[in-house]
Structure 1
């Protein structure tokens, strides 16, 4: 593979330390551009990292405590669809493979993992990631050169918001990322979607909050707010009620 390509940020989730260290070593030996940025002992730890940091690929075992690999890739599929996933497991079970395919897992590897099989699998995933990043960069360059249509710009902004809505984000920051003024970005966004970028961002965050409140009831209202980019609990609760008609606690019940 081309070692000059854009770094691929990888999370490895594996509860057995020796296997984890061996897997990380094998991955990083494939190509210098492959960077393991997080070694997680379970799916919950991996997901927590993904929520707060840019990640391209998650390589996960199936059988882990707290949150297993199938639950982890389900969360990625629902909320971080741009992140690729590779399953590793010692269980040659068709049911696991079927579930993995349903969540659009890129590769499925059986333990003990052979270096060549891992190299081929990671190479295929890397090629797909590089191609997508290249296409995205070309679109941005075309847009900044003024040769892209406004509707294409809006689609790129929507994709950017989907990938970054879990952190604090302002319209000015988004506009700056695309080399536009916030007023121009709002104008074309409203024209092509019928709503302002801020409304689109709120909708993404509130939908994620609904999911967290119902599926992760152990989380406090404050924790839910922090996970979707609203560290101020009172602001989050007030906004949630404006949108849904009920407070986060009422919605959870």
Structure 2
């Protein structure tokens, strides 16, 4: 096991993911140095971007960028570190802010700590000090996550019947039913009543729960209605593409388990998977999605239907790549089952949705760089659907092998 792998131990569980961190400083060389330090640390961190001041960073957050940690300088133009900390306390209270400042900026530091900055580091930033503070912040985030997971377990145990009743439309919404903001998904298995023995039913519940527990915390709600028996597996996870892919893999294993329990002649067993939600109020919608998914997947989609579905989705992506797009939103727009659409998309295009969308946006950016010499790179970034110019430039360089500006210059010179 490498040192980096050792550093990851204990940080990731079914709900876990790499923690997203942003750097905010008006000096480019400082941002570059901090990025390099982060990349070399054996900590589960992913830098989502670096920003020249608090104003630029808050705009990115409002545009959809998400973080758990922020490294910010004290003194910056437009919005300094204290103003940023105050803004985060009000708008993103869960974010941990780590301040770095000079000895002469003690008043700013004290003000930031008053507004719940997590910790501070004196300039110049020392690698060991930064590592220690980040490790402490990650430990706090992990403990908060464990507590949230524990709270959800206790809440669901105490309110299982109420949650199931609300999910199926039997009782109205009330704030006391709120499960928090962890992403969740429903995996719904149904079959004709009396098809399974008690032993087989218990086996299905246990196997389904264990398989889905590979990717998150699972609660099982029993579902009996309309001459059907069933289980609704309520799966909580992390907001990431990796979790979505892990969930899809676990669902396929559940499908195999269900197929093994039912005789081939018995076609009553059906599985429906919802989209991914964070609001408890959307639970009835998630439940309805599983029922609609079952109706579509009673028989496997014929190849012609798969082709038509993919053609429709690809056409929509090409027309709307400039907008904020997710495969879940597209699946809901056309009333497709998300898990099935994701599987077919990757199978037919050879790449996951997010990689396909990114590649398309880069190709459109290259076209604009070649054909329109007057448009600014920041405008091209907006026109092709990237929310942050720094991120756009990094992805462009990683994909094309040079920066957008270099690509434009090379094309102008005929290279």
Q: What is the rounded CA distance, in whole Å, between the counterparts of 2:152 and 2:7 in structure 1?
A: 23
Q: Which has the larger radius of gyration?
A: 2
Aligned to 2:65: 53
Quickly say closer, same or farther: Cα 1:14–1:138, change in 2 above 3 A: same
Aligned to 1:36: 47
Matched, 1:63 2:86: no
Aligned to 2:157: 147
Post-superposition offset of 1:114: 1.0
Post-superposition offset of 1:27: 2.2
Q: What is the rounded CA distance, in whole Å, between the counterparts of 1:147 and 1:43 in structure 2?
A: 42
Map 1:67-146 to 2 at 5 A. 67-141=79-153, 146=156
Aligned to 2:390: none
Instruction: Say whether the 8 Å CA contact 2:24–2:53 is kept in structure 1.
Output: yes
Q: What is the rounded CA distance, in whole Å, between the counterparts of 2:150 and 2:175 in structure 1?
A: 12
Quickly say closer, same or farther: Cα 1:108–1:175, change in 2 above 3 A: closer
Look up the SS of the partner of 1:156 in the other structure.
coil
Post-superposition offset of 1:152: 9.3
Instruction: Say whether the 8 Å CA contact 1:175–1:181 is kept in structure 2.
Output: no
Quickly say closer, same or farther: Cα 1:173–1:114, change in 2 above 3 A: closer
Q: Provide the TM-score with structure 1 as the length reference.
A: 0.59
Q: Provide the TM-score with structure 2 as the length reference.
A: 0.37
Q: Give structure 1 stretches of 5+ with no counterpart.
A: 162-171, 185-253
Post-superposition offset of 1:179: 8.6
Q: How many correspondences in the alignment?
A: 172
Matched, 1:180 2:319: no
Quickly say closer, same or farther: Cα 1:13–1:182, change in 2 above 3 A: same
Q: What is the rounded CA distance, in whole Å, between the counterparts of 1:27 and 1:10 in structure 2?
A: 9
RMSD: 3.2
Post-superposition offset of 1:15: 1.1
Aligned to 1:207: none
Instruction: Say whether the 8 Å CA contact 2:81–2:112 is kept in structure 1.
Output: no
